[in-house]
Amino acid sequence: MRLTRAVVRPPGSTFAAGLTTVNLGVPDLTLALGQHEAYVRTLERCGLAVTRLPADPVHPDSTFVEDAAVLLPEGAILTRPGAPSREGEVASIRAALAGLVPAIGEISPPGTLDGGDICEAGRHFLIGLSHRTNEDGARQLASILSRHGYTSAVVDIRTIAGILHLKSGVSYLGGGRLLVIDELHGHPAFHAFDRLVVPDGEEYAANAIRVNDHVVLPAGFPRVEALVQLSGTPVLTVGMSEFRKMDGGPSCLSLRF
Ligand code: CIR
């Protein structure tokens, strides 16, 4: 699908107080802001018009805008993030998207769902069941998708160590290709795809985004970069060290549509 727009939000002054499961130290806000700016320029280079929302220091994780909505060509589905500290992020994403795309659905209690668990693969969606996205949220999303003619499959990642969201472990690269970590590559939901298995030690780079003619990868993962290039799509890389400290990767920092 040809993308034309993205919505982003820079990290705010409270960024370092956000949620994290990794032990990589405290993020440097100045460096994070520089990386965010370079990320935006990369999306622009891929042809996207980028809407920059103001920083929201009330919500330390609000730079990870991907989790608050799922975008389809038909419009936006507002989510209900699974971490209580992130629930309040949805209102401003709803308002920001209102001028850009129609709202076509939302996840309601007791459902919870983070956009990071939703992997679009053309007319088919992979829905991660995680510690953020529950069965009710997954069911609600599957039903909205099906009303719009999309199929979906659920992938339970609750027992896979080291990944927060489904897209921490798998990304759709277009053309029937998935970039996937070894622990997940045999999952039945992935059988119909060509799978590029992430080499040992480079798992963080499983979170990649296909943006029109390029795949955007985190910088510093040369074996994944080579694998993706060889599979036929040029790669652009972005420095993500400060976002990685807070469990974020390239997909989390934008809503693309
Ligand atoms: C969180 O734990 O919610 C944030 N610190 C990281 C969210 C990353 N989002 C994503 O992968 N879509």
> Tens of pLDDT along the chain (257 residues)?
799 999 999 999 999 999 999 999 999 999 999 999 999 999 999 999 999 999 999 999 999 999 999 999 999 999 999 999 999 999 999 999 998 999 999 999 999 999 999 999 999 999 999 999 999 999 999 999 999 999 999 999 999 999 999 999 999 999 999 999 999 999 999 999 999 999 999 999 999 999 999 999 999 999 999 999 999 999 999 999 999 999 999 999 999 99
Residue 237 in 3-state DSSP? strand
Residue 217 in 3-state DSSP? strand
Distances (CA, A) of 140 to 65, 85, 136: 20, 22, 6
pLDDT given for residue 199 in this prediction: 98
Q: Probe ligand 1: pick from 118, 167, 247, max atoms within 8 Å of CB?
A: 247
- 203: tokens are 């798992």
- 113: tokens are 């769902």
Strands 209-211 and 214-218: antiparallel
Residue 13 burial by Cβ neighbours in a 10 Å radius (0-12, 13-18, 19+): exposed
**Å from CA of 64 to ligand 1 middle:** 6
| pTM score over 0.85 | yes
Active-site residue 187, yes or no?
no
Query: Which of 98, 130, 125, 89 is closest to 112 using CA atoms?
Result: 130
Round to whole Å and give the CA distance between 217 and 205. Answer: 6
**Residue 241's Cα: distance from chain center in Å?**
16
Q: Is the CB of 83 under 6 A from ligand 1?
A: yes
Query: Of 165, 185, 187, 191, which one is the catalytic site residue?
Result: 165
